């Protein structure tokens, strides 16, 4: 049931719009089918599944809007759902930020967001992948905890102004933490894909296991400013806030214009067009990129286009709601899904080779905003932190707490490596000078 074809989905949506008595009506179908397996201490701890299609109906009378949802699709349920959205709309206050629904839109050709291999995943496949990972850890007398989550589905949208959209998506994410039995070493690896046929738990398990074994008996270094090599998983996280995602999330035009963003300008306005980062920093989004294909439309139906956010260190674009774009008279650009930071050709190993003294960081954790004025964040290193000298990893070091802003970090850029996929984004490893570690942590 979870993956309706375009024809099936649009047939339901047409019927929904047919039941509408509102001035405007938009209906969205969202289907998802998938499962997950969680393991700890080299054994499966929990597993679960999801198979659901839900309908969201937004009805509008003038500037009043109401939303209702349902997950059954017989005529009576659909009719009730539409009626409920209309009742809620009639009771709702008028929105001063009302914008009419969009009419027909032109979307880019569909990228490969859906892979049959992912949609065909079975419980046996999940158990086999996690099982193969546990075997490696058993053999090496290490303890693992892992999570494998996959889903496949679709989104379909239609409204009374003629907008029509449909796209299928699939995805798999895997993460693993491997620890030594004495608790003195810990390693981590993660990866995500649209196409599950690219996934192999064993490869990622070996990376995490090597880091766990290699991080035993870490030495304490004094906190202070260090040259660091931040692996991509230290820059963007699937499960937590992150330094680069924090920067991307801050590119909101309204916050900047309202004076409550690092992009706000003294005296009013925003800093779009200013060079705020090292000239090697270029970040864009492109939903058609084959490595990180994404949805072609935003939640309100606006097309997602290739958009340059930062080019050679200069802020080129900010995203906004339709309302704010119209009010401020700025380009109407929706917030992107994933994004791509341009990089070079060097691997993490290459970056290590070119480092006289520095610290390799596998991952950062519990990252929280400290000061939105400067985008200062705090958090800690975790699961594999190593001292580098003369181009080689010398020894593991104890974890640090950092207090750092991605803005300062991207001005202290030493080198950019080759981007890899993390959390649906393409992120290069970065070598940064004067990264600020403010205290030591005993955590392993």
Q: Residues 205 to 234: which contact another protein by CB under 8 A?
A: none
Q: Which of 9, 25, 121, 176 binds another protein (CB under 8 A)?
A: 176
286-305: contacts with another protein (CB under 8 A): 294-295, 298-300
When asked if residue 169 is in the footprint of another protein (CB under 8 A), the reply is yes
In whole angstroms, give the CA distance from residue 206 to residue 228.
Answer: 23
In the complex, the smallest distance separating the C-beta of residue 104 from another protein, rounded to whole angstroms, is 18
When asked if residue 54 is in the footprint of another protein (CB under 8 A), the reply is yes
Q: Which of 10, 150, 185, 431 binds another protein (CB under 8 A)?
A: 150
In this structure, the number of other CB atoms found within 10 A of the CB of residue 391 comes to 14
Size of the site for another protein (CB under 8 A): 116
Name the token pair of 119.
């949609």
According to DSSP, the residues that pair with 312 across neighbouring strands are none
In whole angstroms, give the CA distance from residue 339 to residue 329.
Answer: 25
In the complex, the smallest distance separating the C-beta of residue 188 from another protein, rounded to whole angstroms, is 8
In the complex, the smallest distance separating the C-beta of residue 306 from another protein, rounded to whole angstroms, is 18
257-286: contacts with another protein (CB under 8 A): 258-260, 262, 264-268, 276
In the complex, the smallest distance separating the C-beta of residue 254 from another protein, rounded to whole angstroms, is 8
In whole angstroms, give the CA distance from residue 142 to residue 87.
Answer: 58
When asked if residue 250 is in the footprint of another protein (CB under 8 A), the reply is no
Point out which span in 174-182, 310-318, 351-359, 389-397 binds another protein (CB under 8 A). Answer: 174-182
Q: Which is nearer to another protein, 160 or 322 (CB)?
A: 322
In the complex, the smallest distance separating the C-beta of residue 351 from another protein, rounded to whole angstroms, is 25
In the complex, the smallest distance separating the C-beta of residue 440 from another protein, rounded to whole angstroms, is 7
When asked if residue 185 is in the footprint of another protein (CB under 8 A), the reply is no
Q: In 111-200, which ranges are E strands?
A: 143-159, 164-179, 186-193
Given the structure tokens 């659909």, which residue do they identify?
78
In whole angstroms, give the CA distance from residue 153 to residue 30.
Answer: 7
When asked if residue 105 is in the footprint of another protein (CB under 8 A), the reply is no
Point out which span in 17-25, 242-250, 341-349, 403-411 binds another protein (CB under 8 A). Answer: 403-411
When asked if residue 159 is in the footprint of another protein (CB under 8 A), the reply is no
In whole angstroms, give the CA distance from residue 29 to residue 41.
Answer: 39
In the complex, the smallest distance separating the C-beta of residue 259 from another protein, rounded to whole angstroms, is 4
Distances (CA, A) of 115 to 10, 39, 118, 147, 300: 21, 25, 6, 20, 25
In whole angstroms, give the CA distance from residue 398 to residue 405.
Answer: 22
In whole angstroms, give the CA distance from residue 244 to residue 258.
Answer: 23
In the complex, the smallest distance separating the C-beta of residue 347 from another protein, rounded to whole angstroms, is 25
When asked if residue 323 is in the footprint of another protein (CB under 8 A), the reply is yes
In the complex, the smallest distance separating the C-beta of residue 77 from another protein, rounded to whole angstroms, is 10
- What is the phi-psi region of residue 375: left when phi exceeds 0, alpha when psi lies from -120 to 50, beta otherwise? left
Point out which span in 6-14, 140-148, 198-206, 412-420 binds another protein (CB under 8 A). Answer: 140-148
DSSP state of 196: G
When asked if residue 337 is in the footprint of another protein (CB under 8 A), the reply is yes
340-379: contacts with another protein (CB under 8 A): 365-376, 378-379
Q: Which is nearer to another protein, 60 or 431 (CB)?
A: 60
Q: Which is nearer to another protein, 258 or 389 (CB)?
A: 258
In whole angstroms, give the CA distance from residue 154 to residue 9.
Answer: 9
Instruction: Specify the 3-state DSSP secondary structure of 202.
Output: helix
When asked if residue 131 is in the footprint of another protein (CB under 8 A), the reply is yes
What SS3 string covers 277-299? CCCCCCEEECCCCCCCCCCCECC
In whole angstroms, give the CA distance from residue 54 to residue 69.
Answer: 7
In whole angstroms, give the CA distance from residue 55 to residue 21.
Answer: 18
Q: Which of 359, 352, 353 is nearest to 398 (CA)?
A: 359
């Amino acid at each position: 049931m979870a993956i309706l074809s375009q024809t099936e989905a649009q047939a339901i949506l047409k019927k929904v719009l047919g039941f509408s008595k509102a001035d405007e009506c938009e209906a969205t179908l969202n289907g998802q089918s998938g499962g997950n397996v969680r393991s700890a201490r080299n054994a499966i701890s929990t597993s679960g599944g999801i198979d659901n299609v839900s309908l969201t109906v937004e009805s509008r009378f003038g500037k009043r809007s109401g939303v209702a949802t349902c997950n059954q699709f017989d005529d009576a349920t659909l009719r009730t759902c539409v009626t409920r959205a209309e009742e809620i709309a009639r009771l709702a206050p008028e929105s001063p930020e009302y914008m009419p629904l969009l009419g027909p839109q032109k979307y880019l050709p569909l990228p490969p967001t859906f892979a049959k291999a992912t949609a065909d995943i079975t419980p046996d496949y999940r158990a086999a992948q996690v099982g193969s990972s546990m075997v490696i850890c058993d053999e090496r007398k290490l303890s693992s905890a892992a999570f494998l989550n996959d889903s496949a589905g679709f989104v379909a949208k239609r409204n009374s102004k003629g907008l029509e959209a449909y796209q299928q998506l699939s995805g798999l994410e895997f993460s693993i933490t491997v620890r030594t039995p004495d608790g003195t070493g810990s390693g981590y690896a993660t990866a995500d894909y649209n196409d599950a046929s690219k996934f192999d738990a064993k490869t990622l398990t070996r990376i995490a296991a090597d880091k766990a074994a290699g991080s035993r008996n870490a030495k304490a270094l004094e906190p202070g400013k260090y040259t660091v090599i931040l692996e991509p998983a230290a820059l963007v996280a699937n499960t937590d806030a992150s330094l680069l995602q924090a920067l991307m999330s801050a590119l909101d035009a309204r916050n900047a214009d309202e004076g409550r963003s690092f992009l706000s300008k003294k005296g009013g306005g925003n800093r779009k067009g200013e060079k705020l980062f090292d000239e090697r920093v270029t970040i864009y989004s492109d939903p058609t990129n084959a490595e990180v294909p994404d949805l072609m439309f935003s939640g309100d139906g606006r097309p997602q286009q290739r958009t340059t956010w930062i080019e050679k260190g200069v802020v080129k674009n900010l995203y906004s709601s339709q309302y704010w774009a119209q009010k401020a008279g700025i380009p109407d650009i929706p917030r992107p899904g994933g994004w791509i930071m341009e990089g070079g050709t060097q691997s993490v190993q290459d970056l290590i080779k070119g480092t006289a003294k520095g610290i390799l960081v596998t991952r950062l954790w519990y990252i929280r905003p400290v000061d939105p004025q400067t985008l200062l964040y705090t958090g800690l290193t975790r699961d594999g932190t190593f001292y580098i000298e003369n181009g080689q990893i010398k020894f593991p070091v104890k974890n640090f707490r950092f207090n750092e802003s991605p803005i300062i970090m991207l001005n202290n850029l030493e080198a950019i490596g080759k981007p890899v996929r993390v959390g649906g984004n393409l992120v290069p490893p970065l070598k940064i000078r004067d990264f600020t570690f403010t205290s030591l942590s005993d955590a392993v």
